[in-house]
Amino acid sequence: SSEVLEAIENVIQGVLQSLAEKKAPVLTVANRTDWRNIEFKDSVGLQMIPRCTTKQIRSDCPQSAKRFALMLKILSMIYKMVQSNTYATKRDIYYSDTLLFGSQSVVDQIINDISCMLKIPRRSLHVLSTTKGFVAGNLSYTEEDGTKVNCTCSATVFTVPSNVQGIKNLTSHARFILIVEKDATFQRLLDDDFFNKVSPCIMITGRGIPDLNTRLLVRKLWDSFQIPIFTLMDADPHGVEIMCVYKYGSVSMSFEAHHLTVPSIKWLGLLPSDLERLNICKDALIPFTKQDENKLASIQKRPYIACQPLWRKELEIMAASKLKAEIQVLTLLSSDYLSRVYLPNKLQFGGWL
């Protein structure tokens, strides 16, 4: 906490120094969304280069003066929370003054900019994300406040903890971890008692694009147990994008890649080649939209695809057919085909990339 307080004090010192010299104060933040500031390392994923381009949030410029003021406001809130050892969610911060902030996304972006500017992980700033991810299966742990969570006993779903850093005493006999893209598929596998039938496993879903806590939990489980991690996604560009976020990280959070990515994650399904192999009727597939085409073309150009020849081949199959499929398409073969046939066969015979 002293490191966080000192980092904030240094920023404020700079502002006061500028004012003393009768200059307009400026905050300098990295360009987090610029691909030119990103490098790919297969052991880490997407990470920000040390000497990246920056942008200035000026206090004397009409376009950025409000943002400058909001950054100082949130810095002051973080400072008080760290001092008093209290926490707030990003939502709490937004609702403390909705008229001032205008929208939740403004608060989210500023907090990420502050984290990047101070070079301090967001959870050390005492700002928690609102969690939307779920976890189930062969896992028990103790939350920071002493609450014992045991996912192993039942088919109950537990929300991913809002302070992943604080959980301890993680115990599991799981043989693997399965990341499921969608809530509906996750619930279906729970109903089929999948995580007990095949072999003990841990199941996680970020319910679409994963939030920070879900990504932190996947990384924590990997660090704790070092067991294989598989992804089960729709066979479409959106599903591939989500899988890449878990495996290689995202451009906007590349400054925190070391805490968030798990480059050893495997693509279990649904593979574009599976659709042909299983004789899925083409009428059951969904034609690409223009947005799908653009998304896929963008993914194919990314640096990590170059070192994944088998992934590249699957993306080429998808691009050539211009068709996509949801995992639910497997119910055409039988209602429990996913949990009874597809996943057990894949896991037993190594059908992953």
Backbone angles phi, psi at 268, to 5 degrees: -90, -40
Nearest to 268 by CA among 314, 217, 209: 314
Q: What residues does 46 pair with on adjacent strands?
A: 40
User: Which of the residues 79, 94, 95, 337 is marked catalytic?
Assistant: 95
What distance in Å separates the CA atoms of residue 304 and residue 94, rounded to the nearest whole number? 36
Helix 104-118, helix 2-20: angle, nearest 10: 90
**Residues 6 or more apart from 250 whose CB is under 8 A from it?**
46
**Cis peptide bond N-terminal to 333, omega within 30:** no
Q: What is the DSSP string of 54-101?
A: EEEEESS-TTTHHHHHHHHHHHHHHHHHHHHT--EEHHHHHHT-HHHH
What distance in Å separates the CA atoms of residue 113 and residue 120, rounded to the nearest whole number? 11
What distance in Å separates the CA atoms of residue 312 and residue 65, rounded to the nearest whole number? 45
Helix 309-321, helix 290-300: angle, nearest 10: 160
Q: Do 243 and 205 contact (CB within 8 A), yes or no?
A: no
Backbone angles phi, psi at 89, to 5 degrees: -85, 165
Residue 257 is encoded by which pair of tokens?
């890649």
What distance in Å separates the CA atoms of residue 230 and residue 316, rounded to the nearest whole number? 21
Return the residue matching tokens 């574009």: 272
User: Is 95 an active-site residue?
Assistant: yes
Residue 60 is encoded by which pair of tokens?
């004397």
- The distance of Cα 333 from the centroid of its chain, to the nearest Å, equals 32
3-state secondary structure of 30: strand
Task: Give the active site residues.
Answer: 95
